[in-house]
Chains A and B, each alone.
Chain A
Amino acid sequence: MENFHPFVLPFVLGTFALFAICIYKYVRWIRQFDRLQRAIILKNIFSVKLLPAIWEMFTECLLHLRISKKNWRLGYMHRSIAFGWFLLIVVGAVESRIGTPKNFHFWVAIFYRYFHQAPPESHTAFVFTQVMDLLLLYVLSGITLAFIKKIHSRILGMKRATKHTLMDRAVRTALWSIFPLRLLSESVSACLYHNGGFLTQTIGDLFSPNVAQFLEMPFWSLYSIALCVFFLLLPFTRYMHIFTEIFLIYFRKLGVKERVKMTGFTKFELSACSRCGMCIDGCPLYKDLGIMDVQSVYLLRNLRNLEHHKDIVEAGKNCLMCSRCSEDCPVDIDLMSIRRISRDKGDLDTDGNYQYLQKVKSFNSIGRVAYFGGCMTQLTPAISSAMEEIFNAVGQKYWFMDKEKSICCGRPLAQQGFNKQAAELRRKNTELIHSSGATALVTSCPICYNAFKNEYQLHIPVYHHTEYLDQLIKSGKLKVSKGDLKVTYHDPCELGRSCGIYKEPRNVLKAVATLLKTENEKEKSLCCGMNLGNTVITLEQQTILRNSALDNLTAPNPDVVVTACPMCKRAFQHGGTSVQVKDIAEVVAAATKKE
């Protein structure tokens, strides 16, 4: 057979095995989608959402723009390997198709320099040869960076890289050896047949033809074997992310979301994690407490393999749910939902626990605003009284839903994997709010806000009090005077990273005081440590987290540290700092012009 040599067999075998295993896995996962997810996919499958999905596949799977934005060195490294290799395949395929008029097989494209044993005949062929060398050099530069990162990750801007399993490391070795082997094989062939470009020909000329003759077959065989090993093991290691991310982006664009139980979509998300470890550096548990085995990368890995059952449970519990890793994740995996899935309490999560709430009745609030302080606001009554003052100042009638007795919003239960119980509380609160006839819901607690906004399906608008105050000040209803107070603002995790509210509180604060910048703000805001997400760390560890967040806030020497969360306020109040800690509502209430 022309254009065939036994050394291509490992490569051919690897390629077919790779596609067979991937198709088997993907079909299985898609069958595990639940009914709602399937309905969403069927509804949107041929919609215009396909176009942005294709664009995102291009920018994320090939160009890796999101990584580049976070760390350009890692971005370059990843892009050079992924995009470089993709181009090598595409350009190589075109070049070999043009250069091989008959007996073309797909492996000819991969081993073209071996099968095409003549110097470039035309200008086009010459250009192709040079371009292929350039691309190979591009990929090799990425591999070199990856190698440097393995030895000393700080050079590439990562404090700590992931600790990989043996299997992952073996496949990484196969991947890293593919390109140097390709370089050597092509150089040897270039020495014999003078068909190389600027790189391979230069290296090839260093060999003497006798040595090249001797080395040609081993090099090409090793190259083929390296490809085979990589392809065969790829579906069982972190490199599965290469293909899975494409599907994940597509499903995500169609509108599929995580559910409370593990579904096929979760399997896609778990496999789309490349274990890059970018979630480790930002994690407060690593940064301040030195805990290194609970980060999302490890949780996802163990969940994917469903091994080390006890470790998964322990790692799943030990997380602040501060969303810092979701923010840092270059693949945008819904890490918080996966964390919740890992906490599912199973039989412990019972129905009908809160029948004692049946007698709670709503208050006729047609034309009023419902104000939900939240459980934590009951412990920081200064916030709710400031809000009441503001409601009165603008002449807004309101119904303080939980002034005397408070029903929890259900999020703390959901965070711990009690989904049915949380749903029961949600049903009760929804019933109360809807039957009251209130026109809008204002809440002071970001935890409740996140629940009302994203977990409830309320028919009325939901505002966090920072949003509400911003609206009041902008519309001129609330007249405030700007004092000479210098403040720093703490972005609560649940309000900032989880709900994306950064602008409103800053607008409000700029209207009443001078806002100072802090080192870690907005997306990089530090967790106050008192978060309801974690049930494992001790009070002493929480104190360390609190102190580091407070140090960040007091560094610019403000008069007042302002926050928008009763929980954060309570945490900072006990921080032993001489600086006052206030909620944004208190600051605004104090600056309101009295008539």
Chain B
Amino acid sequence: MENFGFSLKKSRTVNLVHADMQKFDQLIAAVPSYKRCIGCGGCTASCSARQFTDFDIRKVHCYFSRGQYDQLEQELQKCMLCGKCTLVCPRGVNLRSLIINMRQILSNTTEILG
């Protein structure tokens, strides 16, 4: 095909009516403080993992809240759970709990005992 130097991009439109919000609802139930998030990005700005890689926690929960769960599981594994995001959050979102719960919901696991 002729290379024109430009191409058509895939549409990034998300149809929220048809999005699978079940996991998001589960997350809200587990971490109610997440409802307060205003998406300021303080968490990403302070993130330790972000200093080494392109891990972006704000992006992760943005995708999560739209029901786009692909790749999030691998992405969240980069988190070191150090808790800086939780401390800087101006809205008091319990981000460490949020991350653990996101991982649990995405991979369908719970704690094992004994």
Q: Footprint of B on A, CB under 8 Å?
A: 262, 303, 306, 309, 312-313, 316, 342-348, 350, 353-354, 356-357, 359-360, 375-376, 378-379, 404-408, 410, 412-413, 416-418, 421, 425, 530, 532, 535-536, 538-540, 567, 570
Known: A376-B83, A410-B80, A567-B87. 13 other contacts (CB 8 A): A262-B114, A312-B113, A344-B113, A345-B100, A345-B109, A353-B78, A357-B52, A406-B48, A408-B82, A416-B96, A417-B111, A421-B81, A530-B87
B13 at the interface (CB under 8 A from A): no
B84 A378 Cβ-Cβ under 8 A: yes
Partner of A412, one of B81, B94, B104, B112: B81
The reply to whether A354 and B113 form a contact with Cβ atoms under 8 Å apart is no
A377 to chain B, nearest CB (A): 10
User: Contact string, B16-35, partner A, CB cutoff 8 A, digits 1/0?
Assistant: 00000000000000000100
Of all A-B residue pairs in the complex, the 9 with the closest CB atoms, nearest first, are A539-B92, A535-B97, A346-B112, A408-B80, A375-B82, A405-B51, A408-B82, A356-B53, A353-B77
Q: Find residues 66-114 in chain B having any chain A CB closer than 8 Å to their own CB.
A: 77-78, 80-84, 87-88, 92, 94, 96-97, 100, 103-104, 107, 109-114
Q: Which of A262, A306, A535 contacts B94 (CB 8 A)?
A: A535
Contact indicator A375/B111 (Cβ below 8 Å): no
Give the residue name and chain of the B residue nearest to A262 (CB). B114
Quick check: A538 and B33 within 8 Å, CB to CB?
yes
With contact pairs A356-B52, A406-B48, A535-B97 given, residues A348 and B81 touching in the complex (Cβ less than 8 Å): no
- Expressed in whole angstroms, the Cα–Cα distance for A425 and B88 within the complex equals 23
A309 to B114, CA, bound (A): 11
> In the complex the two chains form, is B48's CB within 8 Å of A407's CB?
yes
| A/B pair count, beta carbons within 8 Å | 105
Q: When the two chains form their complex, are residues A303 and B113 in contact, meaning their CB atoms are under 8 A apart?
A: yes
Q: Is the CB of B87 within 8 A of A413?
A: no
Does A313 contact B111, Cβ atoms closer than 8 Å?
yes
Q: Closest residue of chain B to A314, judged by CB?
A: B111
Interface centre among B78, B83, B97, B109 (most CB of A within 10 A): B83
- Asked if A376 and B84 sit within 8 Å, CB to CB, the answer is yes
User: What residues of A have a CB within 8 angstroms of the CB of B112 in the complex?
Assistant: 344-346
Q: Does B65 contact A (CB under 8 A)?
A: no
In the bound complex, CA of A360 to CA of B48 (Å): 13
Asked, given contacts A406-B48, A412-B83, whether A316 binds B111 with beta carbons under 8 Å apart, the answer is yes
Contacts of A360 in B (CB 8 A): 52
- Nearest B residue to A543 via CB reads B92
Partner of B100, one of A312, A354, A408, A416: A416
Which residues of chain A come closer than 8 Å to B113, judged between CB atoms? Answer: 262, 303, 306, 309, 312-313, 342, 344
CA distance A262 to B113 in the complex (A): 8
Tell whether, in the assembled complex, residue B46 and residue A379 are in contact, meaning their CB atoms are under 8 Å apart.
Answer: yes
- Which of A312, A353, A535 gathers most chain B CB within 10 Å? A535
Q: A303-B113, A353-B77, A570-B87 are in contact. Are A412 and B100 (CB under 8 A)?
A: no
CB distance from A353 to the nearest CB of B (A): 4
Q: State whether A408 touches B81 (Cβ < 8 A).
A: yes
Residue among B51, B84, B87 having the largest count of chain A Cβ atoms under 10 Å: B87
Q: How far is A20 from B41 in the complex, measured between Cα atoms in Å?
A: 62
Contacts of B84 in A (CB 8 A): 375-376, 378-379
Q: CA A410 – CA B111 in complex, angstroms?
A: 19
- Listed by A's residue number, 27 A-B pairs whose Cβ atoms lie within 8 Å are A262-B113, A313-B113, A316-B111, A342-B111, A344-B113, A345-B100, A346-B109, A347-B107, A347-B109, A348-B104, A356-B78, A360-B52, A375-B84, A376-B82, A405-B51, A406-B82, A408-B81, A421-B81, A532-B83, A532-B96, A535-B96, A538-B33, A538-B92, A538-B94, A539-B33, A540-B92, A567-B87
Is chain B's interface secondary structure helix, strand, loop, or mixed overall? loop
Q: A425 to B97, Cβ gap below 8 A?
A: no
* Distance A539 CA – B89 CA, assembled complex (angstroms): 11
Cross-chain contact A354 with B80 (CB below 8 angstroms): yes
Question: What residue of chain A has the Cβ atom nearest to residue B46's Cβ?
Answer: A379
**Cα separation A540 to B81 with both chains bound (whole Å):** 21
Task: Give 1 or 0 for each of B42-62: 1 = CB within 8 Å of chain A CB.
Answer: 000010110111000000000
What is the minimal beta-carbon distance from A222 to any residue of chain B, in angstroms? Answer: 39
Contact residues in B for A425 (Cβ distance below 8 Å): 80
Specify which chain B residues have a CB less than 8 angstroms from the CB of A312 in the assembled complex.
113
Q: B111 to chain A: which residues have CB within 8 Å?
A: 313, 316, 342-346, 417
Could you tell me if B83 and A375 are in contact, using CB atoms closer than 8 angstroms? yes
Contact among A313, A316, A348, A407 for B80, CB-based, below 8 A: A407
A348-B104, A360-B52, A379-B46 known; A306+B82 contact, CB < 8 A: no
* Bound CA–CA A416/B96 (angstroms): 10
What residues of A have a CB within 8 angstroms of the CB of B78 in the complex? 353-354, 356
Interface centre among A313, A354, A404 (most CB of B within 10 A): A354
Shortest distance in angstroms between A362's beta carbon and chain B's nearest beta carbon?
15
A343 CA to B113 CA, complexed, in Å: 8
A270 to chain B, nearest CB (A): 10
**Which residues of chain B have C-beta atoms less than 8 A from A356's C-beta?**
49, 52-53, 78
Q: How far is the CB of A382 from chain B (nearest CB, A)?
A: 15
A540 to B109 Cα, complex, angstroms: 29
Closest-CB distance, B44 to chain A (whole angstroms): 14
Q: Please indicate the chain B residues that have their CB under 8 angstroms from the CB of A421 in the complex.
A: 81
The interface residues of chain B lying within 8 Å CB-to-CB of A536 are 97
CB A269 to nearest CB in B, in angstroms, measures 14
Q: Verify B97–A375 contact, CB threshold 8 A.
A: no
Chain A residue nearest to B111 (CB atoms) is A313
Whether A379 and B80, one on each chain, are in contact in the complex, defined by CB atoms closer than 8 angstroms, is no
Report if A413-B80 is in contact (Cβ < 8 Å); known contacts: A346-B111, A404-B51.
yes
